[in-house]
Amino acid sequence: MTSPGKKLRELINAPQILAMPGIFDGYSAHLVEQFGFPAGFISGAGVSESHLGQPDVGLMGMEENLRVSRAIVGCCNLPLITDGDTGYGNAVNVYHMTRGFEQAGLGGVMIEDQVWPKRCGHMKGKQVISAEEMVEKIKAAAEARRDPDFVIKSRTDAYTPYGLEEAIRRLNLYAEAGADLLFADALLKEEDIATTARNVSKPLSVNMGFGIRSRPTTPLISAKRLEDLGVAAVIYPRLLTSCAVQGMINGLETLQKSLATGEIIERPELAVSFEKLNDVLGFKQFEALEQRFLTREQLQAKYG
C-alpha cells in the first residue's frame, strides 16, 4: 500500500505543477476530492479561523490542530500536507509534533521559521528565529518520521525583514538539514519567485491567492506560468475560506432583507440544496452501508 507521503512525493516530483487548495474542514475536504484535485493543503489559518474563530496569530495549539487534521484525514482519500506552524516550541517539540501528524495519517507537515507566536505571512510584524535554530528543527522533524517518504516542507518568512538573498540562503540550509519541499512566503515579484526556483536545491512551493489580492503580497500568477518558472507546487490556502465567508455574508444579507420586508425571498443560487449537501458528504455511501449491514427488521422499522 502506497503511503500518503509517497503519493505526495510522486506528485511534487512530477513534471506538471501540483495545485493544492487550502482545506479547513470536512466540507472543503470532500469538495476538493470530488473536484479531482490529487492532494490538499490543510490551512493553519483556515483551521484557526473556522474552528477557533480567531485570526492566524499563533493562538491555536498543537492538539487543536492535530485533532482537526486527523478528522480531515478520516473523511477523504487525499494525501494531505498540514500546517505545523513553528512546531509549537523548540526542536524537541518539533520532533513530537512530526510524530503526531504522521501517526494521524498526514503525508507531510510544513514548519516555518517565525518567532512564536507566529502570524499569517502577509501580516505586518513578522519576526524570524535564527537560521541555525530552524536547521535543528528541520533535522528533528526529518529524524522523527518513521516513513522516509513523509514530506517535510520548510517555510521561511525571512524575505520581508531581510530580503531575497537571505530567504534563499535559509531555504538551502533547510534543504541540507532534511527538508523535501521549500517555501519562501510573501514574495512580492514574479522575478523573485523565478530567482528562488533557480537557486534552491529542492522543489519549490509558492502560496497564491485567487481572484483578489491586497497589497503588498505575492502577485497573482497562473499555475501554468508558475510551472514555467520552475515551481513544483502551489497552494491556495485562503481560497475556500474566503469563498465560504462571502457565501455566508450573501445568505445573511438576504435573510435580513426578508425579515425587514416580510417577504419570502427565493434565491436558489445562494445555497446548495439539501440533497446536494448530503451528496457532498457522501450520504449515499452511508445508505449503501445500511443496506448491506442492517437486518431486514431494522430496515423495515426505519424505512417501511
Residue with cell 434565491: 267
What is the third-level CATH fold of 4-237?
Answer: TIM Barrel (3.20.20)
pLDDT for residue 212: 58
Predicted local confidence at residue 113, as pLDDT: 97
pLDDT number for residue 215: 52
Show the DSSP H helices in the chain as ranges: 4-12, 26-34, 44-47, 62-74, 91-103, 131-144, 159-162, 164-177, 190-199, 223-229, 239-261, 274-280, 283-293, 296-303
Residue type (1 letter), 265 = I
pLDDT of 217 reads: 75
N residues, the chain: 304
pTM attached to this predicted model:
0.93
Question: Which grid coordinates belong to 66?
Answer: 492535530
Q: In b/e form, how buried is each residue of 157-175, taking b as 16+ CB within 10 angstroms?
A: bbbbeeebebbbbbbbbbb
For residue 257, the model assigns a pLDDT of 94
**pLDDT tens-place values along the chain, 304 residues long:** 899 999 999 999 999 999 999 999 999 999 999 999 999 999 999 999 999 999 888 899 999 999 999 999 999 999 999 999 999 999 999 999 999 999 999 999 999 999 988 877 677 778 999 999 999 999 999 999 999 999 999 999 999 999 999 999 999 999 999 999 999 998 999 999 999 999 999 999 999 987 655 555 788 999 999 999 999 999 999 999 999 999 999 999 999 999 999 999 889 999 999 999 999 999 999 999 999 999 999 999 999 8
pLDDT attached to residue 211: 62
Domain boundaries, the chain: 4-237, 239-266, 272-304
Give the pLDDT of residue 158: 96
